[in-house]
A and B are shown apart, each in its own frame.
Chain A
Amino acid sequence: MDTTSTVERVSATGIISDTIRTNFLNADYGIKSWLLTKDHKRIAILYLISITVFFMIGGAFAAMIRMELITPEADVFTSEAYNKVFTTHGIMMVFFFLIPSIPATLGNFLVPVMVGARDLAFPRINLLSWYIYVIGGLFTLTALVLGGVDTGWTFYTPYSSTYSNGYVMLTGIGIFITGFSSILTGLNFIVTVHKMRAPGLGWFRLPLFVWANYAASLIMVLGTPVVAIGIVMIALERGLGLGIFDPRLGGDPVLFQHIFWFYSHPAVYIMILPGMGVVSEIMACFSRRHIFGYKFIAFSSLGIAIIGFLVWGHHMFVSGQSSYAGIVFSLFTFIVAVPSAIKVFNWTATMHKGRIVYSTPMMYALGFIGLFLVGGLTGLFCASLGVDIHIHDTYFIVAHFHYVMVGGSVMAYLGGIHFWWPKMTGRMYPEGWGRFSALLVFVGFNLTFFPQFIAGYLGMPRRYHVYPPEFQIYNVLSSGGALVLGIGFMIPLIYLFWSLKYGEKAGPNPWRAAGLEWETTSPPPTFNFDYQPVVDHEPYNYSEIDARSSATVSTHSVQEEQHV
Chain B
Amino acid sequence: MSDHSEHHIVPLKVYFLVFSALMILLFVTVGVAMVNLGPFNIYVAMSIAIIKAVLVVLYFMHVRYSTRLTMVVAAAGFIWLVFLLGITILDYTSRSWIPGSYQ
Contact = CB atoms under 8 A, between A and B. Distances in A.
Interface in B80-103: 80, 83-84, 87-88, 90-92, 94-95, 97-98, 100-102
B84 A328 contact: no
Contacts of A322: 90-92, 94-95, 97-98, 101-102
Given A255-B88, A310-B87, A313-B87, A324 B98 contact: yes
Interface residues of A, number: 20
Given A262-B84, A310-B83, A313-B91, A324 B101 contact: yes
A309 B80 contact: yes
A189 B95 CA distance: 41
A325 interface: yes
A313 B88 CA distance: 9
B56 to A, nearest CB: 18
A194 interface: yes
A310 B79 CA distance: 12
B69 A258 contact: no
Given A194-B69, A310-B83, A325 B90 contact: yes
B31 interface: no
Interface string B57-91: 00000000000010000001100100110011011
A105 B77 CA distance: 27
Contact of B97 (A258, A320, A324): A324
Interface bin, chain B: 10 to 19
A325 B84 CA distance: 13
A255 B97 CA distance: 19
Contacts of A310: 83, 87
Given A194-B69, A328-B90, A320 B80 contact: no
B74 to A, nearest CB: 12
A259 B91 CA distance: 13
B87 A323 contact: no
Given A258-B88, A310-B87, A313-B91, A323 B80 contact: no
A310 B97 CA distance: 21
Contacts of B90: 322, 324-325, 328
Contacts, number: 49
Nearest to B91: A325
A254 B90 CA distance: 13
A386 to B, nearest CB: 14
Interface in A290-330: 309-310, 313, 320-325, 328
Contacts of B97: 322-324
Interface string A238-258: 000000000000000011001
Given A322-B98, A322-B102, A325-B94, A226 B84 contact: yes
Interface string A248-279: 00000011001100100000000000000000
A223 B100 CA distance: 33
A138 interface: no
A259 B94 CA distance: 18
A262 B102 CA distance: 21
A234 B25 CA distance: 33
Interface string B29-67: 000000000000000000000000000000000000000
A222 interface: yes
A322 B94 CA distance: 6
Nearest to A316: B91
Most buried by A among B69, B88, B91, B94: B91
A230 to B, nearest CB: 11
Contacts of B88: 255, 258, 262
A322 B101 CA distance: 6
Interface in A314-362: 320-325, 328
Contact of A328 (B80, B87, B95, B101): B87
Given A258-B91, A325-B91, A222 B77 contact: yes
22 contacts: A222-B76, A222-B77, A222-B80, A226-B84, A254-B91, A258-B91, A262-B88, A309-B80, A310-B83, A313-B87, A320-B102, A322-B92, A322-B97, A322-B101, A323-B94, A324-B90, A324-B94, A324-B97, A324-B98, A325-B90, A325-B94, A328-B90
Interface of B: 69, 76-77, 80, 83-84, 87-88, 90-92, 94-95, 97-98, 100-102
User: Which 3 residue pairs of A and B lie closest in terms of their CB atoms, listed nearest first?
Assistant: A324-B94, A325-B91, A322-B95
Given A323-B97, A323-B98, A328-B87, 20 more contacts: A194-B69, A218-B76, A223-B80, A258-B88, A262-B83, A309-B83, A310-B83, A313-B87, A320-B102, A321-B102, A322-B90, A322-B92, A322-B95, A322-B97, A322-B98, A322-B102, A323-B94, A324-B101, A325-B90, A325-B94
